[in-house]
Chain A
Amino acid sequence: MIAPENNQPLIVVIDDAAAVCRAVSRLLTASGYRTATYVRPTEYLDDAAEMAPGCVVADIRMPELDGIGLSKAMRARGIDAPIVFMTATGDVDTVVRAMKQNASDLLAKPFTADALLGAVTQALDVSHRLDDEHRALLALWRLAGRLTPREAEVCALVAGGSANKVVAARLGTTEKTIKVHRGRVMSKLAATSLADLVRMVDRLLAAESQTSIRLDGIERVRPRPIDIIVSATKQARADSPPPLDDRPTLVR
């Protein structure tokens, strides 16, 4: 077997038809990619924690666990790698179900080498973009992870548009104390302006459902202060939704 460079993306190939699995892997390897092959999707899921694939190429109909089930199981494990599905049936129901699972592409067997390589290139582009987004979010998590619980609350309320004295009243402290907390928040988050802070909190809220990030095969759990920011923001909105005019204006 030709050994590709170690820095090449890893592509996981899963197909219960062993001959197809081997042949697809062979083409990808000959094209410079690293590959890992599985004829049983559950075996890949067992190994998944140790891997960081650029994308997964999987048959959509497999007896043990089909492609749709595989996709759901991957997402449940925090694996965001794009999936290129292969199908030997290509019926409408299969296509619809695959697309609902955010399939990167769906290749109807038999497909050409160019079609496979094109789909893999596209999936890897998506993977790189996702990686960039995850890296940016992770950097923000690291900064926000340095906040104390009280600073996280102040951060949420200030970014929500509350004035210092409102925040002080809400948290049962003085405006002067809030100013000190606010200064620390700006410093720890390296925010250059209130608008910058608002953008950061908005980004954290947009990824509210994401409790961990898997990057380079390592799982990072969301730091606790971000949970506080999310819940404090929700609470403040529920208590007194601020008029839109009170929100700081974003300067882009």
Chain B
Amino acid sequence: MSVLHQMVHDAVVEIHNTFNSERGDPDLERVSRLIVAGELVAAVAHDLRQPVTATEMNVSAALRLLTICVADPSSARAKSAFAEIGEALRDALLEQGRMRAALQVLEDLVRQREPVFVAVDVVALVQETLQLVMSEASARRTAIEFEIPSAVPRIIADGVLVRQALLNILMNALESTSASHSPGGPITLAVYSDDAAGVVELVITHYGPQDEVVGTSERALALARAIAEVHDALLTLEGDPQSGIAIRTRWPIRRGVLA
């Protein structure tokens, strides 16, 4: 059994064991995190397959081109081949970076640790998170439209936890919308800066069964809500048949603003 499969297996066992736990259960955060990890294993595996394929192709091409160089090193063809080998290896290195990033996401998700509050660039964090879910969205044929201003104030937060909360909300939106619509979506994500209130607001809207607003979505969003609470942030759900389900999170620019 691979590490990822073991992780999913462990998550399922823990979910069964603690499904009825109260929200104050100290294991909730980790279990919820494992749920997200389980949901994301497929997405991350997809993200890994692409760079692994590209790396295999690039390195194999480089090896083939090398035989041309060895056969007649001074020929014009060999010069072109040398240049191409350089390109192939540079691309392979880029892909290796993508693989490392995908693995880092998994590690961050399952690691249990104390929150570390630092200044976090929300725009970069949102873009990075969108990148993670895009392949899953594509697989589910769901469009994600986003509206992100070029700059918003940094927030004092634990970037890993905020990313987990965002992932949790987006994965829930993806599941909910693709279950009720085929192809699903669109999901919209908007970032606003409310300077007067000293908060940065993230609004994710999607269509889905309305009963999920108070049902399954509440449980699925438990991790996001728990993370919001750690940051003195607010998470609210609004359901509307016309505009869909809006999940609004308001993150204080400085800790304690909304407390």
Chain A residues whose C-beta falls within 8 Å of the C-beta of B21 in the assembled complex: none
Whether A109 is near chain B, meaning CB under 8 Å from some CB there, is yes
Q: Assuming A2-B80, A27-B64, A30-B84, is B53 touching A110 (CB within 8 A)?
A: yes
**Minimum distance in angstroms from A14 CB to a CB of chain B:** 14
Q: Assuming A19-B95, A61-B138, A116-B57, is B52 touching A110 (CB within 8 A)?
A: yes
Complex contact A30–B65 (CB within 8 A): yes
Whether B77 is near chain A, meaning CB under 8 Å from some CB there, is yes
A89 contact from B51, B52, B55, B139, Cβ within 8 A:
B139
Chain A 101-121 per-residue mask, 1 if CB under 8 angstroms from chain B, else 0: 000000001111100100000
Complex contact B57–A88 (CB within 8 A): no
Complex contact B56–A26 (CB within 8 A): no
Chain A residues whose C-beta falls within 8 Å of the C-beta of B94 in the assembled complex: 19
Q: Assuming A2-B80, A30-B65, A61-B139, is B58 touching A109 (CB within 8 A)?
A: no
Whether A17 is near chain B, meaning CB under 8 Å from some CB there, is yes
- For the complex, give the distance between the alpha carbons of A63 and B183 in Å: 11
- For the complex, give the distance between the alpha carbons of A61 and B183 in Å: 13
Q: What is the interface of chain A mostly: helix, strand, loop, or mixed?
A: loop
Whether A23 is near chain B, meaning CB under 8 Å from some CB there, is yes
Q: Assuming A19-B51, A88-B50, is B84 touching A113 (CB within 8 A)?
A: no
**Minimum distance in angstroms from B43 CB to a CB of chain A:** 11
B: contact size bracket:
20 to 34
Residue of B nearest to A94 (CB): B139
Complex contact B138–A31 (CB within 8 A): no
Q: Assuming A2-B77, A19-B94, is B61 touching A26 (CB within 8 A)?
A: yes
Q: Assuming A63-B138, A113-B56, is B65 touching A88 (CB within 8 A)?
A: no
Complex contact B57–A113 (CB within 8 A): yes
Whether B175 is near chain A, meaning CB under 8 Å from some CB there, is no
Interface size on A, residues (CB 8 A): 27
Whether B49 is near chain A, meaning CB under 8 Å from some CB there, is yes
Complex contact B84–A109 (CB within 8 A): no
Q: Assuming A26-B88, A27-B57, A30-B61, is B77 touching A19 (CB within 8 A)?
A: no
Complex contact B61–A88 (CB within 8 A): no
Whether A20 is near chain B, meaning CB under 8 Å from some CB there, is yes
Chain B 49-76 per-residue mask, 1 if CB under 8 angstroms from chain A, else 0: 1111111111011101100100000000
Complex contact A89–B61 (CB within 8 A): no
Chain B 17-54 per-residue mask, 1 if CB under 8 angstroms from chain A, else 0: 00000000000000000000000000000100111111
Chain A residues whose C-beta falls within 8 Å of the C-beta of B158 in the assembled complex: none
**Chain A, 50-87, CB within 8 A of any chain B CB:** 61-63, 86
A2 contact from B58, B84, B139, Cβ within 8 A:
B84
Whether A142 is near chain B, meaning CB under 8 Å from some CB there, is no
- For the complex, give the distance between the alpha carbons of A20 and B54 in Å: 5
Complex contact B49–A30 (CB within 8 A): no
Complex contact B49–A109 (CB within 8 A): yes
4 tightest Cβ-Cβ pairs between the two chains A and B: A113-B60, A23-B57, A110-B52, A23-B54
A-B residue pairs in contact (CB < 8 Å), sample of 30: A1-B84, A2-B77, A2-B80, A2-B81, A19-B54, A19-B95, A19-B98, A20-B57, A23-B53, A23-B54, A23-B56, A23-B91, A26-B57, A26-B58, A26-B88, A26-B91, A27-B61, A30-B61, A30-B62, A30-B64, A31-B64, A88-B49, A88-B50, A89-B46, A109-B49, A109-B52, A110-B49, A110-B52, A110-B53, A112-B60
By a beta-carbon cutoff of 8 Å, the part of chain B in contact with chain A is 46, 49-58, 60-62, 64-65, 68, 77, 80-81, 84, 87-88, 91, 94-95, 98, 135, 138-139, 141, 143
